[in-house]
Chains A and B, each alone.
Chain A
Amino acid sequence: MANRQKMKKQQPEKRINNFQEVACGYTKEEAVKEAERCLQCKDSPCVDGCPVEVPIPDFIEEITNENFDQAAELVKEKNALPAICGRVCPQAEQCEAECILGKKGQPVAIGALERFVGDYELKQDREIEAKTDKDIKTAVVGSGPAGLTAAADMAKLGYQVTVFEALSDPGGVLRYGIPEFRLPKSIVDEEVQEIENLGVEVRPNTLIGSTLTFDDLQEEGYEAVFVSTGAGLPYFLGIPGENLNGVYSANEFLTRVNLMNAYRFPEYQTPIEVGDHVAVVGAGNVAMDSARTALRLGAEEVSIVYRRSRNEMPAREEEIEHAEEEGIDFKLLRNPVKILGNEEDWVAELECVEMELGEPDSSGRPRPIPIEDSNFTIPVETVVIAIGQGPNPLLSKKELNLETTEWNSIVVDDDTYQTSIPGVFAGGDVIGGSATVIAAMGDGRKAAREIDKYLQQK
């Protein structure tokens, strides 16, 4: 069996000096060649691995026939944001993990093909006619992948849809979290534009709970609300020294760079500061993105400090590989215990302890256990904390009838996505657990269906 078509990438030495996309995408010829590797399995196990059931063999077949329009149509029926998912889905654990070819060799590059189709589609500038002909207003709160998907689906069903977004630009994590070199903002802009073309209105600078409340939305005639406010609240370690200058939450670090373009300071006026030595705590996508961003901002040495081993790292495989290629230093089985400052209270050192792995804990991963008297320090001027985030309690603090868990996740009915408030639905990271773009989109899609049912019964 032929090997997978390699995708052209910017060389590591070069790419660490710019913010341009690392992976360049397939050419038409490469895409067709890769598509031809697919065995067109009857029972298509790959589809079972996709949370939104993209008809994988079918769209791949259309690529082999060079019917790219048809391929795009098939993908878009299930996935409103193919150019985005093709880039950021954890394919290695989802569709590609189930691909038959993967049992013996390399699975079909489903993600890369989806990206090809998504990019192709964006270049077509298709005239889409909005058919929001129903005289029923619906609201979406938060413009991340969950909200955008729900909005697109509800618009396709004919509803009037307004998406309310707190920040100045739509996209959620796609905008403020995932860096340019992995997901160009122009792609996010274009995909959002496609959704607006369906008749969806996006209203930025509107913080629901503060600028407008659920009562206001009801008064303005919105008959259903979908809440997809994500998990934007950064967690800190709770160790001494975390408020020293030079310590960032990953959210702040990435928001300054992505949303506010701090990497183009002073043309853009939001500053960012990285030292020569940077430590990033954590090993998920957020940590990889922070580490690789720090490198591109000019840091000489960037380490990932993670308390478990490589096997347990939650980031996408491809991101870990890219980080390794770029020379990120992985300090595994190390856990920070203290951040030490200099006389001006700037970060000077990170004190860590060595760890070993014990029995599996509630997450199913081996529990990391500190090794006594193994403390050591590394000199750093910047520390980025990327150990996870939870739902922002702001909305539930203002909307007291909205039932949440002790972790601030909004409680919904498993089947209907309805919250404790009738007519208010929720999905994506804010209901907890999902934490991927495609899972959030899956929620948005299913919730849109449930909202449609609810409105028809009303």
Chain B
Amino acid sequence: MFEIIEKKALASEIVSLIVEAPLIAAKAEPGHFVVVRVSETGERIPLTIADYNRDRETIELIIQAVGYSTIQLSKLEEGDQLLDVLGPLGEPVEIEKLGRVVCVAGGIGVAPIYPKAKELKEAGNEIISIIGAQTEEKLIMQDRMESISEELYLATDDGSIGHEGFVTEVLESVLEENEVDEVIAIGPVVMMKAACEVTADYGIDTVVSLNPIMVDGTGMCGGCRVTVGGENRFACVDGPAFDGHKVDFVELMRRQDHYHPQEEKAMHRCKLEEEVGRDG
């Protein structure tokens, strides 16, 4: 049912899969995500709907291979099927005409920010984008972000392209020089936390998209709970987008590490399997 009809490598360890999913494509909006399971023994992993095409009845998933499940996913080829794809999940982000919006994304965060930036642009906003990665090879979707942005800034940790350093440093100078109505920040939690600290100084509303560990993605397990404005919220149904100035990022970072030992074990297994695969 959920056939992969196109696969592209976007950067080192980052792939794009175009997946046939008619019902989900028909309903998808920016901010939505899906929960995917590769095989009977697989985990349920949440992935943003990075783009969708209602005519072709497809959704695009952009995957960064960081652990066992995402590596399995990135190894799939065109013609393979995903066992389960559930969605669209989460609340879509509100798209309004606000004026000038800055989109800051780090690493794989560019994937979830792109559909929002695109719709915001279509709604008449001026988009300034700042996207970053560790190095140039890991930077994704530069062309697509460029096509919808008035200005696009790049940042890499090693300076291989664009600003040498963090996206948040670029954000600071952009806010210094422009009147900005809203900031959207998506990426690793440390990055979103830092971005919110910058925007708080300027008093600019900031939307972040959270990525806690999830199981069902439908509000049934509470595993994805995050503290926002002192209240317990379920990221899968109340989010994943929240007012960044209210999020308890420290708690989120800690909760993301819950299964660290098991993840290492799974990765170890993954390496063993690869070795066996190579020998046999």
Contact = CB atoms under 8 A, between A and B. Distances in A.
Q: Report whether chain A binds chain B.
A: yes
Contacts of B225: 236, 243
A211 B258 contact: no
Nearest to A253: B221
Interface in B147-203: none
B254 A345 contact: yes
Nearest to B226: A243
A267 B255 contact: no
B131 to A, nearest CB: 29
Contact of A211 (B37, B86, B237): B86
Given A234-B220, A261-B41, A267-B41, A252 B215 contact: yes
B257 A245 contact: yes
B85 to A, nearest CB: 6
Interface string B49-84: 000000000000000000011000000000000011
A392 B23 contact: no
Contacts of B265: 266
Interface string B191-227: 0000000000000000000000001101111110101
A270 B220 contact: no
Interface in B230-263: 232, 237, 251, 254-255, 257-259, 261-263
Contacts of A249: 221-223
Contacts of B87: 207, 210-211
Given A243-B255, A245-B257, A255 B27 contact: no
Contacts of A344: 254
A282 B223 CA distance: 19
Interface residues of B, number: 41
A269 B222 contact: no
A231 to B, nearest CB: 10
Interface in A365-408: 392-394
Nearest to A213: B27
A252 B269 CA distance: 25
Interface string A249-293: 101100110001100011111110100000000000000000000
Chain A, interface residues (CB within 8 Å), range = 35 or more
A268 B41 contact: yes
A233 interface: yes
Contacts of B42: 269
- Chain A interface mostly: loop
Interface string B35-47: 0010001111000
B257 A211 contact: no
Nearest to B218: A166
Nearest to B36: A205
A236 B259 CA distance: 21
Interface string A152-173: 0000000000000011100000
Given A265-B262, A269-B42, A233 B220 contact: yes
A434 interface: no
A256 B262 CA distance: 14
A255 B24 contact: no
B69 A210 contact: no
A261 B41 CA distance: 8
A206 interface: yes
Nearest to B83: A168
Contact of A255 (B84, B86, B215, B258): B215
Given A251-B222, A269-B42, A243 B27 contact: no
Contacts of A204: 84
B264 to A, nearest CB: 11
Interface in B80-131: 83-89
A168 B84 contact: yes
Contact of B27 (A211, A242, A245, A265): A211
B141 interface: no
B216 A273 contact: no
A234 B222 contact: yes
A252 B221 CA distance: 4
A271 B215 CA distance: 11
B27 A269 contact: no
B9 interface: no
A392 B84 CA distance: 22
B20 to A, nearest CB: 13
B44 A251 contact: no
B232 A269 contact: no
Contacts of B41: 261, 267-269
B5 interface: no
Contacts of A39: none
A168 B89 CA distance: 15
Contacts of A243: 225, 227, 232, 251, 255
Given A243-B232, A269-B266, A273-B262, A207 B222 contact: no
A205 B85 CA distance: 6
A273 B227 CA distance: 22
Between B41, B42, B83, B265, the greatest number of chain A beta carbons within 10 A of the residue's beta carbon is seen for B41
A7 interface: no
Given A266-B269, A273-B262, A205 B219 contact: no
13 contacts: A168-B44, A205-B85, A210-B88, A211-B23, A211-B24, A242-B232, A243-B255, A245-B257, A245-B258, A249-B223, A251-B221, A266-B265, A269-B41
Interface of B: 23-24, 27, 37, 41-44, 68-69, 83-89, 215-216, 218-223, 225, 227, 232, 237, 251, 254-255, 257-259, 261-263, 265-266, 269
3 tightest Cβ-Cβ pairs between the two chains A and B:
A271-B262, A252-B221, A249-B222
